[in-house]
Structure 1
Amino acid sequence: MAGNFRHLRIGVLAFQGDVREHIHVLEGLGAQVVKVRRPEELGTVDALVIPGGESSVMDKLVRMFGMQQPLRDAIAAGMPVFGTCAGLIMMSDNIVDAIAEQESLGGLHVDVRRNAFGTQIDSFEVQLDMPGVTKDPVPATFIRAPIVERVGEGVRVISALPDGRIVAVEQGNLLGISFHPEVNGDSRVHEYFLGRVAQYVTEKKASI
């Protein structure tokens, strides 16, 4: 399967968080990977991964380095973006419990709640059903994770916990999840995203 992704150039937003772990998974699947910190680097990639980390710190760094508007423009233009944990928060239209002056990039029509499961010591792992992504359950690691409290127009729920809390959504080329697939050696969610990116690249070339 990795050979199918060798033509893809995937950016990982590299200001803070699980950058190295995502790069390892993406390269393991055969993709070319670029650390993205500047607009010119963003302009060279087919898609972007926004890693887990601390969303408020990531937001400050994105603005400090002049990346907020380029990222918003890329999302609005249809670039495939995959956000995990803090990445989901960054992509959301609304953070219901944002700290003072915290902003998001927006584009994903959801409301999210930060740290919905408590502190670091409340981290946990479950087997999560993700129909449409993979037929077998995915080991999902939740670390100070957000949840999706509301989904808006065009958003499809692709996974929820047994109690109904939404932890994975998709909207067009945007994929946002609450957990960390990069930390437990299971690459199926990344593989699903790369499959979507490959389709996007093919359709983009066909339209030129």
Structure 2
Amino acid sequence: MEAGGAAHQRSVGVLSLQGSFNEHIAALRRLGVMGVEVRKAEHLEKIGSLIIPGGESTTMAKLAHYHNLFPALREFVKSGRPVWGTCAGLIFLADRAIGQKNGGQEFIGGLDCTVHRNFFGSQLQSFEIDLLVSKLAAKEGGPASFRGVFIRAPAIMEVGPDVEVLADYTVHVNDSTNAKIVTSLRGLEDKKSSSTQKVVVAARQGNLLVTAFHPELTKDTRWHSFFLKMSVENNEEHGLSISKEVASSEVKGPIFLPIFE
């Protein structure tokens, strides 16, 4: 409980340097929650949870470095406040990464996993597929599948013992349509004896949630609802509540990407 003994409202922040932050804010709005655009370290002091959206991870990292955001973002993660990373956001939160360009990029870290950047190939190899999400459905209701939108997406190759897998995807090695996907397995443990390769595309570890796909580009808001429940649980521990009224004064009106059925 903060000074004064009263419960304070805390908003959900969305890192708004680049990428699909407007789409996340729109999804939160559909659930009756106003998202706050986060661009500076001081903005993190006013929120109780944070979404790191998909986008171009190298560009996002350069902008975060330019604004000196990495120290504050790492402290935010260490504070135990909920953080959800989608696509590029997943890469930011991973402790380890492979498939990087020379020189790599800066990370926030916190999630005990190894992520392969651009595992699913280039922009032209983007795809949609129904994923089995039984744990999500058990908590949020609805069907046991979720339409995953993968855009130049990463994948989690290995997870630590404290990481809960929420969704995975099986690559069929002998399927010629996945030939370029399979080439990204080079440098990993030899799996030639197997006809499939399973990778993790959604996971949770404590206050951290990650998805390799883009829930904000669908009408299904169950992942956002799942994250809000994480935020509520965390805030209740500290005598806080999710703000449903406070919106960012910097929001100029969202530019929406296509929303897939």
Q: How many residues are matched?
A: 200
Paired letter, 2:162: G
Counterpart of 1:148 in structure 2 is 156
Paired letter, 2:106: E
Within 2, Cα distance between the matches of 1:131 and 1:108? 22
Residue 169 (structure 2) pairs with residue 161 (structure 1): yes
Does structure 1 conserve the Cα–Cα contact (< 8 Å) formed by 2:121 and 2:152?
Answer: yes
Shifted more, 165-174 versus 92-101: the winner is 92-101
Counterpart of 1:186 in structure 2 is 220
Within 2, Cα distance between the matches of 1:117 and 1:97? 11
Residue 117 (structure 2) pairs with residue 114 (structure 1): yes
Counterpart of 2:78 in structure 1 is 76
% identical aligned pairs: 40
> C-alpha displacement at 1:8, in angstroms?
5.1
List runs of 5+ in structure 1 lacking aligned partners.
Answer: 1-6
Paired letter, 1:55: S
> C-alpha displacement at 1:205, in angstroms?
1.7
Counterpart of 1:58 in structure 2 is 60
Does structure 1 conserve the Cα–Cα contact (< 8 Å) formed by 2:13 and 2:37?
Answer: yes
Paired letter, 1:69: P
Within 1, Cα distance between the matches of 2:208 and 2:71? 17
Counterpart of 1:3 in structure 2 is none
Paired letter, 1:193: F
Within 2, Cα distance between the matches of 1:67 and 1:104? 11
List runs of 5+ in structure 2 lacking aligned partners.
Answer: 1-8, 172-197, 241-261
RMSD: 1.3
Counterpart of 2:129 in structure 1 is 126
Runs of 4+ in structure 1 displaced over 6 angstroms? none
1:48-83 CA-to-partner distances (Å, cap 9, x unmatched) read: 000000111111111110100000001011110000
Does structure 1 conserve the Cα–Cα contact (< 8 Å) formed by 2:10 and 2:46?
Answer: no
Counterpart of 2:248 in structure 1 is none
Paired letter, 1:116: F
1:56-115 CA-to-partner distances (Å, cap 9, x unmatched) read: 111111111010000000101111000000000001011112221411110111110111
1:172-191 CA-to-partner distances (Å, cap 9, x unmatched) read: 01001100011121111111
Counterpart of 1:94 in structure 2 is 96
Within 1, Cα distance between the matches of 2:16 and 2:97? 22
Higher RCO (C-alpha 8 Å, min separation 6): 2
> C-alpha displacement at 1:32, in angstroms?
2.4
Within 2, Cα distance between the matches of 1:176 and 1:58? 17
Paired letter, 1:195: K
Within 1, Cα distance between the matches of 2:99 and 2:38? 27
* Secondary structure of residue in 1 paired with 2:239: helix
* Secondary structure of residue in 2 paired with 1:57: helix
Which structure's CA Rg is the greater one?
A: 2
> C-alpha displacement at 1:121, in angstroms?
1.2
Shifted more, 102-111 versus 92-101: the winner is 92-101
Within 2, Cα distance between the matches of 1:205 and 1:130? 31
TM-score between both structures, scaled by the size of structure 2: 0.74
